Homo-oligomer: A and B are copies of this chain.
Amino acid sequence: MDKKQENKKVFLEIVNQLRELIKHEGIQPGEKLPSERVLSERLNVGRSSVREALRSLELLGLIETRHGGGTFLSAVHSNQLVELLASFILQENKAVEDVHIVRRMHEKEAIRVICSEQSLRSLPVWESLFMKLELENEIVRDLLLRELMIASGNRLALKIWIQLAAYSATPLKKLSTEEEKPMLQMLIKSLQLGYEREALSAYENWIHYLRNSSS
Which residues does A use to contact B, with CB under 8 Å? 11, 48, 51-52, 55-56, 59-61, 74-78, 80-81, 84-85, 88-89, 95, 98-99, 101-102, 105-106, 109, 125, 128-129, 132, 137, 139, 142-143, 146-147, 150-151, 154-160, 162-164, 166
Q: Which residue on B lies nearest to A125, using beta carbons?
A: B78
Report A166 CB to chain B, min CB distance, Å: 8
20 residue pairs from A and B, CB less than 8 Å apart: A48-B51, A52-B52, A55-B55, A56-B59, A59-B59, A75-B143, A77-B125, A80-B150, A80-B166, A81-B150, A84-B158, A84-B159, A84-B163, A88-B155, A88-B158, A95-B154, A98-B157, A101-B157, A102-B157, A160-B160
As for how many copies of this chain the complex holds, the number is 2
Is the CB–CB distance between A77 and B160 below 8 Å? no
Known: A52-B55, A59-B56, A105-B106. A77 touches B157 (CB 8 A): no
A160 contacts which chain B residues (CB < 8 A)?
A: 81, 84-85, 102, 160
Q: Which residues of chain B come closer than 8 Å to A75, judged between CB atoms?
A: 137, 139, 143
Residue from the list B55, B95, B154 in contact with A156, Cβ < 8 A:
B95
Kindly list chain B residues whose C-beta atoms are within 8 Å of the C-beta of A80.
125, 147, 150-151, 163, 166
Query: Which B residues are in CB contact (< 8 Å) with A155?
Result: 84, 88, 95, 98
Question: What residues on B are CB-neighbors of A99 within 8 Å?
Answer: 156
Q: Which residue of B lies closest to A163 (CB)?
A: B81
Given B139, B156, B163, which contacts A102 in the complex, CB threshold below 8 Å?
Answer: B156
Using CB atoms, name the residue of chain B closest to A157. B102
